[in-house]
């Protein structure tokens, strides 16, 4: 049984506190309109909305944002509390809704060695393991560091580097977009960047024991707005996935091997 069970469509904001650190996850919604200026509606009759996602005011791509959200609402209850709980909370997750529901806040209070007692809106009934809650901060920091699929205008180059020394470079350096030395249009540059960067991320994290030590390939992103480059490293993991990491970050995501390999191979066909 999950500690929280709520649709993201009904949530405007989630506040996560861990120790002295505070994070704010928000969703902004805008009505869609057709070419004639009329509101677009869903088959159910509800408004069709454009949703944009933010962490601490930074826009985040939909997939990694939703993976964090899923983790936030999927903290699993492991048992009922026996006895009185004392002590200060180590973490807090609070949901603000857009459908008239009252806010829900859960505090996580140290309980025995490996658990947190869960105090929801002042009532303590259950406990959960600490690992999921403790890993949330690392996951949020990792997602904030990820290259963003919508940031195509800020990208100067994307360089894929394989363990055997082969490189495949998508770049705007010199003023003309190229891929592997072949001139391409801005539209193709944007297509290549957004498709590879936006590959579906299947999980928020993966156990370190299933990650192979060797890097199969890496992708270095450089920017034209003064930011430091970001490198993502891909190692083989279980179930035909890659574990994607960023040096210096503690968390990771798993990505289907066939999906990202297929995207890179698709753009290779341009220059054959």
Q: Which domains does the chain have, with CATH numbers?
A: 8-144 (no CATH), 147-271 (2.60.40)
Structural contact between residues 230 and 147, judged by C-beta atoms closer than 8 angstroms: yes
38-81 pLDDT tens trace:
888 888 877 888 899 999 999 999 988 988 898 888 777 788 88
Q: Tell me which DSSP letter residue 1 carries.
A: -
Task: Enumerate residues 6+ apart whose C-beta is below 8 A from 178.
Answer: 169, 170, 171, 184
Q: Tell me which DSSP letter residue 262 carries.
A: H
> Which residues sit opposite 140 in a β-bridge?
none
Structural contact between residues 15 and 93, judged by C-beta atoms closer than 8 angstroms: yes
- 254, two tokens: 């798993």
Percent residues over pLDDT 90 in the chain: 53
pLDDT the model gives residue 2: 46
Task: Enumerate residues 6+ apart whose C-beta is below 8 A from 88.
Answer: 109
**Average pLDDT value for residue range 3-15:** 82
pTM of the model: 0.86
In whole angstroms, give the CA distance from residue 91 to residue 111: 13
Which of 74-88, 98-112, 219-233, 244-258 bottoms out in mean pLDDT, i.e. has the lowest?
Answer: 74-88
pLDDT the model gives residue 120: 86
pLDDT the model gives residue 28: 95
Task: Enumerate residues 6+ apart whose C-beta is below 8 A from 221.
Answer: 147, 155, 157, 158, 197, 229, 230, 231, 232
Count CA atoms closer than 13 A to 211's CA, side-chain side. Answer: 20
pLDDT band at 209; cut points 50, 70, 90: low
Task: Enumerate residues 6+ apart whose C-beta is below 8 A from 102.
Answer: none
pLDDT the model gives residue 206: 47
Percent residues over pLDDT 70 in the chain: 94
Nearest to 230 by CA among 221, 218, 238, 219: 221
pLDDT band at 222; cut points 50, 70, 90: very high
| pLDDT above 60: residue 94 | yes
pLDDT the model gives residue 211: 85
Report the mean per-residue pLDDT for the chain: 88
152-201 pLDDT tens trace:
999 999 999 999 999 999 999 988 999 999 999 999 999 999 999 988 66
**Average pLDDT value for residue range 129-158:** 92
172, 178, 183, 188 alpha-carbon torsion, rounded to 10° = -90
| pLDDT above 70: residue 251 | yes
Q: Which residues of 93-123 are buried (b: 16+ CB within 10 A; e: fewer)?
A: bbbeeeeeeeebbbbbbbbeeebbbbbeeee
**Average pLDDT value for residue range 223-227:** 93
């Amino acid at each position: 049984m999950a500690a929280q069970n709520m649709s993201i469509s009904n949530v405007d904001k989630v506040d996560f506190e861990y120790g002295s650190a505070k994070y704010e996850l928000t969703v902004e919604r805008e009505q869609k309109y057709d070419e004639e200026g009329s509101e677009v509606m869903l088959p159910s009759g509800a408004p069709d909305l454009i949703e944009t996602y933010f962490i601490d005011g930074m826009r985040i791509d939909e997939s990694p944002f939703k993976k964090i959200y899923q983790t936030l609402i999927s903290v699993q209850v492991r048992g009922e509390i026996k006895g009185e709980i004392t002590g200060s909370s180590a973490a807090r997750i609070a949901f603000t809704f857009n459908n008239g529901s009252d806010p829900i806040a859960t505090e996580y209070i140290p309980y025995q060695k490996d658990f947190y007692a869960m105090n929801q809106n002042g009532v303590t009934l259950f406990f959960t393991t600490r690992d999921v809650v403790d890993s949330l901060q690392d996951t949020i920091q990792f997602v904030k560091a990820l290259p963003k699929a919508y940031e195509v205008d800020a990208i100067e180059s994307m360089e894929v580097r394989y363990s055997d020394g082969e490189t495949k470079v998508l770049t705007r350096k010199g003023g003309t977009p190229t891929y592997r030395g072949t001139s391409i249009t801005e539209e193709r540059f944007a297509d290549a960047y957004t498709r590879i960067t936006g590959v579906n991320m299947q999980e928020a994290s993966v156990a370190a024991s299933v990650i192979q030590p060797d890097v199969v390939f890496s992708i270095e992103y450089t920017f034209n707005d003064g930011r430091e480059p970001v490198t993502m490293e891909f190692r083989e993991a279980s179930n035909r996935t890659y574990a994607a990491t960023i040096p210096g970050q503690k968390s990771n995501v798993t990505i289907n091997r066939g999906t990202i390999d297929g995207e890179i191979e698709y753009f290779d066909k341009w220059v054959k």
